[in-house]
Amino acid sequence: MTLTTVPQPAQVVLFSGHMIDAADRRQPRFPPEAEPIAAAAIAAALDELRVGPDTLGMTEGSCGGDLLFAEALLARGAALELRLPFTLQTFIERSVAYPKRNSPADRWMERFQEVAAHRRVTVREMPDEGDRLPEAEDPYVQCNLWMLRDTLALGMARATIICLWNGAGGDGAGGTAHMMLSVEKAGGRVIWLDTRKLWSV
């Protein structure tokens, strides 16, 4: 395995968190007006970890928590890998460019493109990994396992996962709950940003 951005990172920080709510979501989870609160909480967690140029971050890059993490990580000089469970175009269609999720003011698509084009960012598509990936039926579960496998190879003692999560099950397989439990089981550190405490929805 070669991580081109930081060959021997002092620490690896994974992130998993809720996407911004779609306009027609019945039960609010991450309303757009809560974005500044989430951004501040993520920034505080990165400062607690003393994230800097010797840090490697990993996340998918969905609109919402993932991109807030990516922007805050890059602002601190760290390197980032965007791990996509699909091809780039499919991921954008499913997880970034939601018409019901994005308003022109949100700029999620533009923000994703800025992150992906950053000189300290490597975009990796899961299909490129082929048979070397752990077996899993759901692509989101498989992507979580892919990130976990590579983090274990670097040493779980140096790994932390930051979760922006309400403690409930997700809308489908994979997601924050699966990633958090997987890292915890493997012995990594977990920083849970409990949205039930950050904002009232």
pLDDT given at position 103: 61
pLDDT given at position 107: 86
Q: How far apart are CA 101 and CA 109, in angstroms?
A: 11
pLDDT given at position 66: 95
The number of CA neighbours under 13 Å toward the Cβ of 104 is: 0
Two tokens, residue 45: 């967690």
Contact by Cβ (8 Å): 59, 80: yes
pLDDT given at position 100: 58
Query: Across-strand partners of 119?
Result: none
Contact by Cβ (8 Å): 173, 145: no
Phi, psi angles (nearest 5°) of residue 59: -165, 175
Pairing between β-strand 189-194 and β-strand 159-165 as defined by DSSP bridges: parallel
pLDDT given at position 195: 92
| Per-residue pLDDT tens listing for the chain (201 residues) | 344 455 689 999 999 888 898 877 888 889 888 999 999 999 999 999 999 999 999 999 999 999 999 999 999 999 999 999 989 999 998 889 865 555 655 789 999 999 999 999 999 998 655 555 555 567 888 888 888 888 888 888 888 989 998 887 655 555 677 777 777 777 788 999 999 999 864
Q: Enumerate domains of the chain plus CATH numbers.
A: 11-198 (3.40.50.450)
